[in-house]
Structure 1
Amino acid sequence: MTLTAAPRTPAAEPAEDDTADALTLGRRIRERRAQLGLTLEQLATAIDRAPSQLSAIENGKREPRLPILRALAAALDCTVDELLADEAPSERAALEISVERAQRGSVFRSLGIPAIRVSKATSDDTLKAILGLHQEVERLHRERAATPEEARRANTELRAEMRVRGNYFAELEAEAQRLLGAVGYSGGPVSQRTIAQVAEKLGFSLHYVTDLPHSTRSVIDRRNGRIYLGANLPSRDARAPILRALASLVCRHEEPRNYGDFLRQRVEANYLAGAVLLPEDATVELLSAAKRERQISMEDLRDAFAVSYEMAAHRFTNLATERLDLEVHFMKAHESGTLIKAYENDGVRFPSDALGNLEGATVCRNWTARTVFAQPDRFNPWYQYTDMAAGGTYWCTSRVEKAKEGEYSVSVGVPFDSVKWFRGRETSHRSTSDCPDERCCRRASDGLTRKWESAAWPEAATPTSLLAALPTGTFPGVDAHEVYEFLEANEVR
């Protein structure tokens, strides 16, 4: 396969705490070197390292391994513990560290402005002004995000856990196998009758009603062993809604104590539904064969198990890392450009707010998840390479699907080095993204701005969720009064 340009190499991004430690260590080494009257080149020679390596350490861009740290301590006539002390070596160094840390953080990056080089010539007043401005911007970001703060924090923590686990939950895979084994599943797409048998084995009957509470997808009556679902389910496929309802029983969910519990239960319910409808062994067998043939395709996975494209894409992320040794990312974006769901363990940098929250952020217009909406051919998948200014070249496959809220895209992507396993790698479609720099796709040209900024007065189609407070209650967003009245009206007497 021949591409028009070489791939960009992803750049590793250290955690902010690690960055702070590296900056403090670097400043302590530099200050100690200055006290001894050593040049950078002299100290580099003393520890048998290139001056560029030592410069990266002193600037906090590289954390030295223990042998180098010991060599530095010996050359600087101090102990390793002295070099690793938490406090900055001076008031000036503390100020420099604070500014450097601010410039490397998510708030500063979201502004899309270049960082300044902190040097001896940079005055204390300049550094204090930069730090003060950054702290004020950060305060405003936190103030704006204060209403859904708990949900955002819980969501960020859960996403981090999913990344560490490769989005693979062995305990839920085992539960799915147990449920299918109990009803004698032997292969092929899992039928709706099979799902009904699973419910029966768990002691529940299914009831399709026209008056299901508007704020719910399903309601379980644990007292009478009933599961209520809407009679007008999309395409009459009730398999996933039934399984999500049963997940509360299989996973032994209790009433969520906080928003973190609520989010985790939703993730587990969706995971279990996918693990039952696309059984692990059969799915891995299909994907492994496709990998050997270099023809992995979300469409093939969807068709083989008669599920939605979104579920197939989700399921692929569950198994890609643990069973196929592939790091991937997934995203669901609304036609407005708003990011709805996202997962990654391949280093791609999703758009986020200053606090690192993804959902609700605006996706770059040049990413596959956005360019797919402009394609007239909705029957075939859309493939695209994207060169990211934030690091690396990624390949994505994307499809547009419809929901009552409008159209949305579902995309699965991998770093350039992994594209060899996928169908669609030969695509010539390629774009470049310089986001979060606003000049990439969010800011109009200077000519258009000059012409229209004083004449345009648009009215925003403000979504109600933008102004609404975070839903409260035991199950956020559910009208408990309506649910209890529904159960009372439908109780078997």
Structure 2
Amino acid sequence: SYRALGLPQLRVGTRVPTEVLEHLVGLATELRAQRSKPTATPEEARAANAALRSSMRERGNYFPDIERAAAGALARASYVGGALSQGMLLSVVAQHGFSVRFVPDLPRSVRSLTDLRGNRIYVKQEPVGGHSARAVILQALGHFLLGHDTPRDFADFLRQRVEANYFAAAMLIPETAAVAFLRDAMSRRDLAVEDLVDVYSVSYEMAAHRVTNLITHHLELPCHFVKNDASGIIYKAYQNDGILFPADITGAIEGQRMCRQWSGRRVFSAPDRFSPHYQYSDTPAGTYFCVAQVDPRADERGYAISLGVPFEHSRWFRGRETTDRVKSNCPDGECCQRAPLTLAERWDGMAWPSARAHSHILSALPAGSFPGVDDVDIYEFLDQHAAD
């Protein structure tokens, strides 16, 4: 780092004052810290997301190396099937030299914190409806089993996060058993996300995302996945079936608003939003069969999770007999992005909304090797618990 600055070599002799040495050491420490901070603007983050999603689509959202790592970890712990119990989970963690501590005072900026000196994974026991402690622990373990190092930049941070999440899902819904389960359901024309939720005791979101990992690679079924809130803002999305998501000029989908006719929007007005909502959607890219459900484990705002496939593959899924069929012309503005002419003529210029401020869109993402993590908080926490 010093040579890269192009400065002359500094000869440190006995006559160099201690204050100067302290000054140099302080500058060197800060230079090292600054070089490790993968700060990104919202635009850079969206571009990184778009690139990562393209990579996932090319491989059908299937990561064979991570599948093998998860299968190996389960085999060493003598896993025999079914939902991964907490006892089996702790056995898996112990097999790799780590222990788990549940604490009430975990720093707010993290879901888990690993002490690499004491090989402890600290987790806060979340209340019902929060993140699954099993998934959080396995995500932390996945970083080490997958050989992750300090992220080089924000794109590397995102990649590592996706891989750790994939590892946790592959541990909680193991490939071999899950594929056999899905094949059997397909033979009965009864594929359904909620069955994986029941069998493996995972969230609806994890089960739906795990289906996208497996059904293209093993069952040759293209698909799409979306997570959105009640206003239609997209938080996560994936597709390899040709459906057209709303996107900005960089190709980013996150933060865009989905069509009002899509199942992820309509489920919020369904009589029972916590039960599967089935529908067919005629779109400019073709007709799709989709099932959406508001995840009951999500926070109070609620998020809809949608899984869909092209019309010709609907025959394999539960709910295909639905008569609910809608037409969506989005991204054509005449579909639902502009108000009907009569309403626009009546209210144009007569409305002044006070919008919620989303201050995060105006600034760079939080700096740090792990964006958004407060280093002071985590170091103080580790120091406090080191003697426990």
Q: Shorter-normalised TM-score: what interval?
A: 0.7 to 0.9
**Cα shift readout 1:58-91 (whole Å, capped 9, x = no counterpart):** xxxxxxxxxxxxxxxxxxxxxxxxxxxxxxxxxx
Residues in 2 aligned to 1:424 and 1:169: alpha-carbon distance in whole angstroms: 29
- Match among 83, 87, 90 for residue 193 of structure 1: 87
Confirm or deny: 8 A CA contact 1:192 1:238 kept in the other structure.
no
Residues in 2 aligned to 1:232 and 1:172: alpha-carbon distance in whole angstroms: 26
Percentage of matched positions with identical amino acids: 50
Verify: 1:387 aligned to 2:282, yes or no: yes
Q: Would you say how many aligned residue pairs link Structure 1 and Structure 2?
A: 347
3-state SS, counterpart of residue 384 of structure 1: strand
- Match among 243, 259, 265 for residue 348 of structure 1: 243
Verify: 1:422 aligned to 2:311, yes or no: no
In the TM superposition, residue 187 of structure 1 has moved relative to its aligned partner by: 1.1
Residues in 2 aligned to 1:275 and 1:164: alpha-carbon distance in whole angstroms: 19
3-state SS, counterpart of residue 335 of structure 1: coil
Confirm or deny: 8 A CA contact 2:139 2:164 kept in the other structure.
yes
Gaps in structure 1 of 5+ consecutive residues: 1-145
In the TM superposition, residue 231 of structure 1 has moved relative to its aligned partner by: 3.0
Verify: 1:295 aligned to 2:185, yes or no: no
Give the equivalent residue in structure 2 for 1:254: 149
Give the equivalent residue in structure 2 for 1:320: 215
**Cα shift readout 1:207-255 (whole Å, capped 9, x = no counterpart):** 1111111110000001111111113344584110110110111111100
In the TM superposition, residue 447 of structure 1 has moved relative to its aligned partner by: 1.4
Higher Cα Rg: structure 1 or 2? Answer: 1
Give the equivalent residue in structure 2 for 1:150: 44
Which residue type is aligned with residue 280 of structure 2? Y
**C-alpha RMSD of matched pairs (Å):** 1.5
- Judged with a 3 Å threshold, the aligned counterparts in structure 2 of structure 1 residues 153 and 378 are, in CA distance, closer, same or farther, namely closer
> Which deviates further from its counterpart, 235-244 or 289-298?
235-244
Residues in 1 aligned to 2:129 and 2:263: alpha-carbon distance in whole angstroms: 27
3-state SS, counterpart of residue 186 of structure 2: helix
Give the equivalent residue in structure 1 for 2:106: 212
1:357-368 correspondence runs (5 A): 357-368=252-263
In the TM superposition, residue 405 of structure 1 has moved relative to its aligned partner by: 6.2
Greater RCO (Cα-Cα under 8 Å, separation 6 or more): 2
Residues in 2 aligned to 1:475 and 1:153: alpha-carbon distance in whole angstroms: 18
Confirm or deny: 8 A CA contact 1:295 1:422 kept in the other structure.
yes
Gaps in structure 2 of 5+ consecutive residues: 1-39
**Cα shift readout 1:307-333 (whole Å, capped 9, x = no counterpart):** 111111011000011111111111101
Which residue type is aligned with residue 152 of structure 1? R
Normalized against structure 1, the TM-score is what?
A: 0.68
Give the equivalent residue in structure 2 for 1:306: 201
Which residue type is aligned with residue 254 of structure 1? D
Which residue type is aligned with residue 192 of structure 1? Q
Which residue type is aligned with residue 271 of structure 2? P
3-state SS, counterpart of residue 226 of structure 2: strand
Give the equivalent residue in structure 1 for 2:293: 399
In the TM superposition, residue 349 of structure 1 has moved relative to its aligned partner by: 0.8
**Cα shift readout 1:94-124 (whole Å, capped 9, x = no counterpart):** xxxxxxxxxxxxxxxxxxxxxxxxxxxxxxx
Give the equivalent residue in structure 2 for 1:455: 350
- Judged with a 3 Å threshold, the aligned counterparts in structure 2 of structure 1 residues 235 and 360 are, in CA distance, closer, same or farther, namely closer
Residues in 2 aligned to 1:367 and 1:201: alpha-carbon distance in whole angstroms: 45
- Judged with a 3 Å threshold, the aligned counterparts in structure 2 of structure 1 residues 233 and 223 are, in CA distance, closer, same or farther, namely farther
Give the equivalent residue in structure 2 for 1:222: 116
- Match among 172, 179, 187 for residue 73 of structure 2: 179
Determine which structure has the larger helix proportion and give its number: 1
Confirm or deny: 8 A CA contact 1:210 1:232 kept in the other structure.
no
Give the equivalent residue in structure 1 for 2:54: 160
Confirm or deny: 8 A CA contact 2:42 2:363 kept in the other structure.
no
In the TM superposition, residue 471 of structure 1 has moved relative to its aligned partner by: 2.1
In the TM superposition, residue 202 of structure 1 has moved relative to its aligned partner by: 1.0
Confirm or deny: 8 A CA contact 2:140 2:164 kept in the other structure.
yes
Normalized against structure 2, the TM-score is what?
A: 0.86
